[in-house]
């Protein structure tokens, strides 16, 4: 009996014994026709022309073969596996790559030669971000779409590693992935994500993975300069009081509402308040704070404090009236003392004053303030 295989046997002979005179009739298995392959998302729709035996007898069906670019036979997907009795089949959820499809006709236990191999490319899953991919305010979001995903998957999002990266919240619309393999993506980049370059991975529940790059440039503000400036003299004596200023310069713009709840926008701001100098605070040094009971700031001003570096500024807890100003262009917070106190004293020393910001202060970047600033020298 003739034997066929998936290899290069070009044809196979078979014989049929006639019912009448015992005569033997020889024929030849036909070779497979040329496949036509249409790719839709991750599916390959393979079709081919019918062939018959030389005597016109239809074949029983066809076997479908898929090869990689190097000619290695692949396991055919369920939709095209086994004997296909129609003239088309569909392999779904195809692995990305360029494949070659061929068919061979089958009649009884014989198989004809495979027809020509037709190439078809299954595209890899993709994630494409649209709009800005540089996050300057955290939390922020990146938006885009996935394409060429196997339908039916839900998708989660990870940063910088598709299997171990931190999950970030995101949504897929529609979800699960529809038949088209395409869905919109919106992902939140939390404040916890550091500045720098990152890779966003869209991870399908069925194993598809696609990635896209984005950057975060949302620096945390830090105080870069502290100035305690003598602006006046009380009764002819230079000491802390009327006209003196406390200025802190920041590296980046502040969210002004984090200083004063009723401040808003990106322009200059002012408020009235108080400078409080705590006599010999916990550090042993006098400590300067800025407060307000003005309704405009909801009764609280977030400043932090200045360890004045010496106990010599005041002899009792002392409150001065003050004006507070935020300079948007200079990124400078300036507090001006507008009253005097007999409890103040002259300090002329080389002590170092240290400003520690209130942890509630945030930058327009969305990040909390970090760091301290100091100044050494004569103050007030």
Q: Does 283 bind Ca ion (CB under 5 A)?
A: no
Tokens 């004809």 correspond to 112
For the window 227-246, what string marks contact with Ca ion as x by the rule CB under 5 A?
---x-------------x--
Largest CA distance in the chain: 141
Q: Six-digit token pair at 254?
A: 């502040």
* Alpha helices, H only, 57-169: none
Q: Does 279 bind Ca ion (CB under 5 A)?
A: yes
Tell me which residue has its CB nearest to Ca ion.
Answer: 311
Give 230 or 334: the residue with its C-beta nearer to Ca ion: 230
Tell me how far, at minimum, the Cβ of 231 lies from Ca ion, in Å: 6
Give 287 or 302: the residue with its C-beta nearer to Ca ion: 287
Interface residue with Ca ion, options 88, 156, 211, 280 (CB under 5 A): 280
- Which among 57-65, 186-194, 309-317, 358-366 is the span making contact with Ca ion, rule CB under 5 A? 309-317
Judged by DSSP in three states, 369 sits in: coil
Distance CA 6, CA 315 (A): 100
Instruction: Look at residues 209, 200, 89 and name the one whose alpha carbon lies nearest to residue 149.
Output: 209
Question: Scanning residues 64 to 83, which ones bind Ca ion (CB under 5 A)?
Answer: none
Distance CA 252, CA 366 (A): 11
Distance CA 157, CA 171 (A): 9
Q: Six-digit token pair at 92?
A: 């779904």
Q: Does 317 bind Ca ion (CB under 5 A)?
A: no
Q: Does 311 bind Ca ion (CB under 5 A)?
A: yes
Count of positions on this chain that bind Ca ion (CB under 5 A): 8
Q: Six-digit token pair at 142?
A: 């990146």
Tell me how far, at minimum, the Cβ of 345 lies from Ca ion, in Å: 8
Distance of CA 372 to the CA centre of its chain: 31
Q: Six-digit token pair at 280?
A: 């010999």
Tell me how far, at minimum, the Cβ of 311 lies from Ca ion, in Å: 4
Q: Identify the sign of the CA torsion 337, 339, 343, 349.
A: positive
- Which among 61-69, 124-132, 173-181, 279-287 is the span making contact with Ca ion, rule CB under 5 A? 279-287
Give 184 or 343: the residue with its C-beta nearer to Ca ion: 343
Give 196 or 236: the residue with its C-beta nearer to Ca ion: 236
Q: Which residues make up the interface to Ca ion (CB under 5 A)? A: 230, 244, 279-280, 286, 311, 314, 380
């Amino acid at each position: 009996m003739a034997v066929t295989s998936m290899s290069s046997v070009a044809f196979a002979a078979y014989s049929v014994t006639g019912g009448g005179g015992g005569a033997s009739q020889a024929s030849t298995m036909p070779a497979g026709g040329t496949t036509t392959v249409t790719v839709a998302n991750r599916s390959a729709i393979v079709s081919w022309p019918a062939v018959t035996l030389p005597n016109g007898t239809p074949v029983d069906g066809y076997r479908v073969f898929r090869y990689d670019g190097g000619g290695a036979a692949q396991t055919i997907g369920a939709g095209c596996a086994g004997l296909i009795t129609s003239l088309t089949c569909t392999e779904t959820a195809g692995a990305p790559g360029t494949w070659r499809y061929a068919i061979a006709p089958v009649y009884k236990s014989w198989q004809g030669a495979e027809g020509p191999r037709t190439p078809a490319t299954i595209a890899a899953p993709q994630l494409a971000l649209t709009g800005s991919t540089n996050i300057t305010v955290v939390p922020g979001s990146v938006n885009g779409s996935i394409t060429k995903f196997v339908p039916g998957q839900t998708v989660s999002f990870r940063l910088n590693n598709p299997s171990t990266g931190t999950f970030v919240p995101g949504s897929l619309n529609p979800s699960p992935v529809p038949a088209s393999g395409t869905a919109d993506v919106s992902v939140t980049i939390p404040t916890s994500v550091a500045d720098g370059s990152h890779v966003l991975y869209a991870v399908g529940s069925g194993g598809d993975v696609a990635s896209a790059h984005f950057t975060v440039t949302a620096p945390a503000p830090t105080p870069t300069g502290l100035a305690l400036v003598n602006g006046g003299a009380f009764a002819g004596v230079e000491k802390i009081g009327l006209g003196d200023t406390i200025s802190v310069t920041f590296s980046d713009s502040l969210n002004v509402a984090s200083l004063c709840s009723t401040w808003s926008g990106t322009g200059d701001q002012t408020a009235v308040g108080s400078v409080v100098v705590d006599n010999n605070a916990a550090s042993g040094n006098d400590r300067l704070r800025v407060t307000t009971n003005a309704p405009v700031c909801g009764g609280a001003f977030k400043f932090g404090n200045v360890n004045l570096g010496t106990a010599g500024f005041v002899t009792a807890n002392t409150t001065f009236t003050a004006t507070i100003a935020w300079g948007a262009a200079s990124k400078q917070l300036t507090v001006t003392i507008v009253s005097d106190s007999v409890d103040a004293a002259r300090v002329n020393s080389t002590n170092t004053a240290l400003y520690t910001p209130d942890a509630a202060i945030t930058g327009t970047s969305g990040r909390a303030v970090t760091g301290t600033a100091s100044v050494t020298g004569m103050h007030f």
